[in-house]
Amino acid sequence: MSIELRDATKRVGAVTHVKPTSLMFEPGHFNVLLGETGSGKTSLIKLMAGLDPCASGQILIDGRDVTKLRPQLRNISLVHQFFVNYPHFTVFENIASPLRVAGLAKSEVDDRVAEVARLLQLTPMLARYPQELSGGQQQRTALARAIAKDSRVVFLDEPLANLDYKLREELRDQLPEILAGRGSVVVYATSEPEEALLLGGMTALMHDGAVIQYGPTAETYRRPANLLAAKVFSQPPINVAAVSKRGSRAELDGGVAWDLTGAAAALDDGTYTVAIRPNDILPESTETASVPMTGQIQITELTGSESSAHFVTGENNWVSLSRGVQTFEVGEQRQFFLDPSRCFYFAADGAYLA
């Protein structure tokens, strides 16, 4: 089982929504589409699902060309972030509806509905109608309908985006387990890098209608193909600055400096771009985060479990993201500590160097 794109494109009038894309999605793990809103994730999913036509190129499911095949004949399931349920059907009937259309025997319909209802904790709600459910229960009903259908391909387009935090965490943990081993290709779109890391599998980074990198999620995170890929796979936005390399030393504006090792030390002397994620600049020194940098705090934010501080050192703006509640004061001079082992180095054109 697989779904393959061969130079597939989507255009609306003169505007290209999906640039030539060649990818192979396979079962056994989550295939994540990661990119900010407007990057082309939904457009790519609609292209694969057959909801929008290909302007050029091909789409194949299990080696069969389905480029011009209607969505109803592709044996796919699609769940949007804005869940859709039939208001005049009970939860049971909502889940069972695609199975009845497929002509399955009543006993098999009953068994499949019971199985997915148990997995998604919907068993007590099977006799209720959508308007009697919470938003989270309605989204779980939409997910259950997609899973029960046992489609060859399951598309999940930011399915947890409109749920409360606790339910999102629960479903995020459950979905890989629920969908694992079913033999289907799962393609999951998200705008959150943290969600991609939690889901694992394979990740395609998207920007401006193009896939700019694709590979195992952890590897894609740790080794971005270029500066743009590093920016896409970072939230809050990755810190970027010019760095001067002289011998085995790197120096930033403001006098921040550290010793280079490995591939970075082997680069020619000169000026490069360095990028480091906010969670690798900390308010306290650690064994690895040991390079001091002092700056004036401009903005502070507290999310409950994490604290962030925006500060200025020399001519550069930086963001630090740390666990727990930190005491930051706007306007104060504060010392932070950079982890040089987590720095990425890029050429002037954005190509990854070390």
Q: Contact, 61 vs 6, CB < 8 A? A: no
Q: Measured between alpha carbons, how far is 51 from 70 in angstroms, rounded to an integer? A: 8
Q: What is the pLDDT of residues 176-196, one digit of tens each?
A: 777 766 778 999 999 999 999
Q: Contact, 198 vs 170, CB < 8 A? A: no
- pLDDT over 70, % of the chain: 99
| Local structure of 44: helix, strand or coil | helix
pLDDT values of the chain reduced to their tens digit, one per residue, 354 residues: 799 999 999 999 999 999 999 999 998 888 999 999 999 999 999 999 999 999 999 999 999 999 999 988 888 989 887 777 899 999 999 999 989 988 899 999 999 999 889 888 899 999 999 999 988 888 889 888 988 887 889 999 998 877 777 778 877 887 877 776 677 899 999 999 999 999 989 999 999 999 999 999 999 999 999 999 999 999 999 999 999 999 999 999 988 999 999 999 999 999 999 999 999 999 999 999 999 999 999 999 987 789 999 999 989 999 999 999 888 999 999 999 999 999 999 999 999 999
Q: What is the pLDDT of residue 181?
A: 66
Q: Measured between alpha carbons, how far is 308 from 318 in angstroms, rounded to an integer? A: 10
- The 10 Å Cβ neighbour count of residue 142 is 21
Strands (DSSP E) contained in 133-248 are 153-157, 185-190, 202-207, 210-216, 239-246
DSSP string for 218-257: HHHHHS-SBHHHHHHT-SSPPEEEEEEEETTEEEETTS-E
Q: What is the pLDDT of residue 180?
A: 67
Q: Contact, 22 vs 47, CB < 8 A? A: no
Q: How many helices (H) and strands (E) does the chain have?
A: 9, 20
First-to-final CA distance of the chain: 36
Q: Contact, 238 vs 221, CB < 8 A? A: no
pTM metric for this prediction: 0.90
Mean pLDDT for the chain overall? 92
Single-letter amino acid, residue 157: D
Token look-up 């009937």 returns: 93
